[in-house]
Amino acid sequence: MYAGDETGGLVIDTGHFSTKAGYAGDDCPKCILPSVVTEDPALLVGHGDDDDDDDDGGGGGRFGLAHGRGSAAAAAEAASTGRFAGRRGGLTRSADRLIVGDAALMRPRPGQRIRGPLLDGSVQDWDALEALWRAAAVELRMDPAESPLLLTEPVTLADPQRERYLETAMEGLGAPATYLLRSPVASAFGAGLPTATVVDLGYQHSRSTCVVDGFALQRTVQQHPWGQQALDLLSVALMRDAVAGTQPRPDHAQLTPTGRPGHDPAAVSPEAARDAFDAGDIAPRYAVSRSPPRRGSGFTPSTSSSSSSSSSSSSGGGGGDAGVRSYVTGMAATAHPSYHAYMLASLGREFRESVAQVTPVPFSPEMVVVDPVTFVLPDGTSLEVGAARALLTETLFAPEAVRPLVRGGEQEILARMTREAGWAHGAAGLAAWGQGVDVSTGVLRRESDGPRGLAAAPEQTSSSSSSASSAAAGDASPTDGGAAAGGGTSRHGSAMSSADPIHEGLGGRDPAAVYRFGRRMRVLMRASSTTGAVEDTVPAPMALHQAVSMSMMSADADSRKALSSNILLCGGGSLLPGIATRVQSELAATLTGAFRPRVVSGLAAERQFSAWLGGSITASLGTFQQLWISKQEYDEEGPGIVDRRCG
């Protein structure tokens, strides 16, 4: 047992997009860092300055942290003393070469690669993870060796990774006591709900998990294959198409360029022109510099630099920017492809956060009117965004909707960005699906791989065959909802079939019926596609509300009622305007009368920081203090203690 004098400590919630850190007992995190790190090229080639602990990176100092060039000295010392060597000899001080924080991303350094610690729900880079945690402690002016550390962990983290998570905290950071809290449990605690269906609309995934009496039920984890990151990339693809003049399909999804200020060709370096802006590529913010506004030009910084305006006028952007010259800098030519892709995705995020909305009923261009808004690209190009505002988010509820959008030139940029940035699953899946790859089972399968199911993982084969048989026997064709339903297998292998008890909770309906919105969208898209019929060779992935229903129905029957009346929407994606209403109405239509779905969504900060908040509350409870894993216990029992102590 940890014998600290006071309750409290440091709480860190590490996400795929951002890492939130703060003091236990507070109601919001004090420090939010992007969950990416970059390498300092100077350190990599051995140019570190040995006696300087606090220059350059701005984060050096007391704790010998990840930012400073001077950390090289600490690295050398640690390597010689072996102080940080883990049980597998795995933990090295290479984390000290990493730079963390927004400032490091402001401008590209030649050859500087961007790395993220988490990918697809597991840790891919332990050095990056440790560097992030250290940087968070520095921001909070805390010594991680003197404060207990509560870490939230992705619910999908496998056991060996959980142990290493603990090991990194105990040995890498030297924490005196640590506890790992599964993030859906933390979110449920944050909302004061010991039992809840936690729907986390995160960056890489949208995931539903049932928490019953404070325990996350692994078998109930279901996920929609893409999260906000995929929508960001889709936004980039739409913007690029608009700028390049190749309009996306269908017609109503298009963005209309309404004005573009003149470029000064002399300011465009040949390299930048070649590498970054060929083929109508759009320029991310770092690659554009703006000359000061000229007097009397009509330019106001708030118009041009803001990412969007709420005006429905199409004249605002282009006209207002007259006289402003945008310069494409040569930086794009030297930036690492991962940096360029990251910054493009950031532009997509700005776009999505500014314009996206969720309609209360399934979107159709004939029936739902969406007010157009203007989005201004960094180079001053104005885009009028109409129905695409709703279509973007409709992909969560009717994944079919996105198919026509990823079949044109857009798939090329999606594929390129995901390749260059090393992104997986959700975002890559979006591009892959457009290219005829089945993403519904979590196994990427190309059409050229042969008949459906051949490339499926063993535990997923049943899903594929159930899909095939349901399609063969049922009302739905393989290309209709039945195939989509058959593809509804989570990465944990809970396959859908009409004999499955899960479907009893869906009112015994044919699974295909649950996909009615997807079907409707496809018919709609087919009608409006400029290229004629949409090929339906691969099934649509599961819709978000479908994932939530399946998650609830995978829990024990006696908890389902409580789970359906406490559906907690959280994660940054839950801030999309209108999403709570839509989730509520889709679930009400999907679940039968015995269940009365009730979506709980608190204040914006509570939704966005729910996992961190739950960690903060937990760590400050007097009754929790006996649960800390102390250094002594860790030394005696090893990292395996995490399984026994942390659920």
Rounded to a whole number of angstroms, the minimum distance from the CB of residue 234 to ligand ATP is 13
Toward ligand ATP, which CB reaches closer, 17 or 84? 17
Query: Exposed (0-12), middle (13-18) or buried (19+): which is 255, by Cβ within 10 Å?
Result: buried
The count of chain residues that interact with ligand ATP, using the rule CB under 6 A, is: 20
CA distances from 433 to 278, 522, 544 (A): 25, 15, 17
Instruction: Mark the segment that binds ligand ATP (CB under 6 A) among 197-205, 253-261, 434-442, 488-496.
Output: 197-205
Rounded to a whole number of angstroms, the minimum distance from the CB of residue 199 to ligand ATP is 11
Toward ligand ATP, which CB reaches closer, 168 or 608? 608
CB 556 within 8 A of CB 408: no
CB 521 within 8 A of CB 250: no
Which residue, chain included where needed, has tokens 């041009």? Answer: 304
CB 573 within 8 A of CB 206: yes
Q: Is 204 in the site for ligand ATP (CB under 6 A)?
A: yes
Rounded to a whole number of angstroms, the minimum distance from the CB of residue 228 to ligand ATP is 3
Task: Return d(Cα 240, Cα 244) in angstroms, integer.
Answer: 6
Residues 347-366 that bind ligand ATP (CB under 6 A): 349, 353
Task: Return d(Cα 469, Cα 472) in angstroms, integer.
Answer: 5
Which is it for the CA torsion 181, 184, 185, 190, positive or negative? positive
Instruction: Mark the segment that binds ligand ATP (CB under 6 A) among 195-203, 280-288, 453-461, 494-502.
Output: 195-203
Task: Return d(Cα 610, Cα 3) in angstroms, integer.
Answer: 28
Structure tokens at 484: 């989509």
Instruction: Mark the segment that binds ligand ATP (CB under 6 A) among 66-74, 203-211, 287-295, 449-457.
Output: 203-211
| CA max distance for the chain | 74
CA neighbours closer than 13 Å in the CB half-sphere of residue 399: 34
Residues 544-603 that bind ligand ATP (CB under 6 A): 571-573, 575-576
Toward ligand ATP, which CB reaches closer, 194 or 578? 578
Toward ligand ATP, which CB reaches closer, 53 or 153? 153
Q: Is 17 in the site for ligand ATP (CB under 6 A)?
A: yes
Rounded to a whole number of angstroms, the minimum distance from the CB of residue 202 to ligand ATP is 2
φ and ψ at residue 162, rounded to 5 degrees? -65, -40
Instruction: Mark the segment that binds ligand ATP (CB under 6 A) among 202-210, 278-286, 333-341, 633-641.
Output: 202-210
Q: Which of 2, 9, 11, 16 binds ligand ATP (CB under 6 A)?
A: 16
CB 183 within 8 A of CB 153: yes
Rounded to a whole number of angstroms, the minimum distance from the CB of residue 427 to ligand ATP is 11
* Interface characters, 601-630, with ligand ATP (x: CB under 6 A): -------x----------------------
Residues 149-188 that bind ligand ATP (CB under 6 A): none
Rounded to a whole number of angstroms, the minimum distance from the CB of residue 129 to ligand ATP is 13
Toward ligand ATP, which CB reaches closer, 436 or 578? 578
Toward ligand ATP, which CB reaches closer, 224 or 403? 224
Q: Is 120 in the site for ligand ATP (CB under 6 A)?
A: no
The residues that bridge with 208 in the sheet, in sequence order, are 199, 222
φ and ψ at residue 453, rounded to 5 degrees? 100, -20
Task: Give kind and range of the element (H or E) at residue 53.
Answer: none
Q: Is 203 in the site for ligand ATP (CB under 6 A)?
A: yes
Toward ligand ATP, which CB reaches closer, 80 or 310? 310
Q: Is 429 in the site for ligand ATP (CB under 6 A)?
A: no
* Interface characters, 509-548, with ligand ATP (x: CB under 6 A): ----------------------------------------
CB 485 within 8 A of CB 470: yes
Region class of 530: left (phi > 0), else alpha (psi between -120 and 50), else beta: alpha
Query: Exposed (0-12), middle (13-18) or buried (19+): which is 546, by Cβ within 10 Å?
Result: buried
Nearest to ligand ATP by Cβ — which residue?
Answer: 572
Rounded to a whole number of angstroms, the minimum distance from the CB of residue 373 to ligand ATP is 14
Residues 218-257 that bind ligand ATP (CB under 6 A): 227-228
Instruction: Mark the segment that binds ligand ATP (CB under 6 A) among 10-18, 128-136, 290-298, 337-345.
Output: 10-18
CA neighbours closer than 13 Å in the CB half-sphere of residue 387: 20
Task: Return d(Cα 155, Cα 129) in angstroms, integer.
Answer: 17
Rounded to a whole number of angstroms, the minimum distance from the CB of residue 353 to ligand ATP is 4
Report helix, strand and coil shares of the chain as percent, to nearest 5. Answer: 45, 15, 40
Instruction: Mark the segment that binds ligand ATP (CB under 6 A) among 85-93, 199-207, 278-286, 635-643.
Output: 199-207
Q: Which of 8, 10, 18, 132 binds ligand ATP (CB under 6 A)?
A: 18
Of the chain, the end-to-end C-alpha distance in Å amounts to: 16
Toward ligand ATP, which CB reaches closer, 35 or 590? 35
CA distances from 545 to 103, 184, 215, 561 (A): 38, 17, 22, 17
Rounded to a whole number of angstroms, the minimum distance from the CB of residue 357 to ligand ATP is 10
φ and ψ at residue 570, rounded to 5 degrees? -150, 180
Task: Return d(Cα 114, Cα 188) in angstroms, integer.
Answer: 32
CB 48 within 8 A of CB 69: yes
Interface residue list for ligand ATP (CB under 6 A)? 15-18, 35, 200, 202-205, 227-228, 349, 353, 571-573, 575-576, 608
